[in-house]
Amino acid sequence: MSDMELQDFESKQARKDYPVSQPDCHCRSKPRPCYECEYYYYRRKAPRLNTDCIVVESLLCSQRANIVAEINIPVLTLGGIVDVGPGGVITPPITLTPDISNIVYQFSVLKNMVVITGYLPANVTVLGIELPIQITIPFQEEIHCPGLCPQDNIQHTPFKIEATITQGLEALGVVAASILFKVILSTNVTATRPVIVKEPNLKLVADVNEDRCETSDDNG
């Protein structure tokens, strides 16, 4: 037996002693399996599944929400340095600066509806000087989504400021002069539900939670 034939025999004997299925790793001349090559080969292989069903997120609704945050503050609360004249003219002019990075919000998922609540901190500037007080502007918005249940999933894009409005309300009778601060916010809200579908046509098999619509509303 030549050296080449002996080497080939030893290689075959080694593969027999180690019956692990081996890829072609150019290791035939070695007396034992190429463990490093096998490791990377099998790590790249897709895992063997016991079923042809998978879990996917089913879209229920996706829509833009325009949210109005507003608060009416008496002029005296601002230290008496601002006045509201006829026609709601504010003197001197003031500027509202919302602090969108510190917005506080909550999404409450109800049947067929998402309720967005929270408040937006803001600073008031008079003649270029920021007042030492910070106001919080509350908001609430309802989004109708047919078929939505309390345990469905909600995602949203970051809140965006569309506009700020400052409106003076002059004193009438016993009602003191005040200033209405309003901020228009927007976000895109998407509601999804995890369901089990069967490949290859993604035919619906079942809801991951068959009782989700029978549970009480989740307001947390």
Instruction: Round to whole Å and give the CA distance between 185 and 29.
Output: 70
Q: Are 34 and 71 in a shared domain?
A: no
The alpha carbon torsion through 122, 126, 128, 134 (nearest 10 deg) reads -20
Q: Are 172 and 129 in a shared domain?
A: yes
Q: Are 27 and 81 in a shared domain?
A: no
pLDDT above 70 as % of the chain: 73
- The mean per-residue pLDDT over the stretch 197-214 comes to 75
Q: What local confidence, expressed as pLDDT, does residue 40 receive?
A: 60
Q: Are 104 and 21 in a shared domain?
A: no
Beta strand 53-74 with 160-169: parallel, antiparallel or unpaired?
unpaired
Is residue 158, in this structure, part of any structural domain at all?
yes
Q: What is the pLDDT of residues 98-115, one digit of tens each?
A: 999 999 999 999 999 999
Q: Are 196 and 132 in a shared domain?
A: yes
Report the number of distinct structural domains present in the chain. Answer: 2
Q: What is the pLDDT of residues 171-182, one digit of tens each?
A: 887 688 899 999
**Residue 208: is its pLDDT beyond 50?**
yes
Q: Are 188 and 170 in a shared domain?
A: yes
Q: Are 89 and 71 in a shared domain?
A: yes
The parent domain of residue 103 ranges over 55-214
Q: What is the pLDDT of residues 53-111, one digit of tens each?
A: 878 888 899 999 999 999 999 988 887 788 898 888 989 989 999 999 999 999 999 99
Q: What is the pLDDT of residues 109-162, one digit of tens each?
A: 999 999 999 999 999 998 888 888 889 999 999 999 999 998 899 999 999 999
Is residue 117, in this structure, part of any structural domain at all?
yes
Q: Are 38 and 82 in a shared domain?
A: no
Q: What local confidence, expressed as pLDDT, does residue 152 receive?
A: 92
Is residue 182, in this structure, part of any structural domain at all?
yes
Q: Residue 20 — very low, low, confident or very high, per pLDDT cuts 50/70/90?
A: very low
- The mean per-residue pLDDT over the stretch 173-202 comes to 88
Is residue 145, in this structure, part of any structural domain at all?
yes
Q: Are 97 and 184 in a shared domain?
A: yes
Is residue 220, in this structure, part of any structural domain at all?
no
The number of helix segments (H) and strand segments (E) in the chain equals 2, 11
This model's pTM is above 0.85 = no
Q: What local confidence, expressed as pLDDT, does residue 44 receive?
A: 60
Radius of gyration of the chain (CA): 33
Is residue 209, in this structure, part of any structural domain at all?
yes
Is residue 219, in this structure, part of any structural domain at all?
no
Q: Where are the beta strands (DSSP E) in 75-173?
A: 83-84, 90-91, 94-98, 104-110, 113-126, 129-144, 153-156, 160-169
Q: Are 39 and 60 in a shared domain?
A: no
Q: Are 167 and 199 in a shared domain?
A: yes
Q: What local confidence, expressed as pLDDT, does residue 35 receive?
A: 62
Tell me the pLDDT of the chain averaged across its residues. Answer: 81
Q: Are 95 and 186 in a shared domain?
A: yes
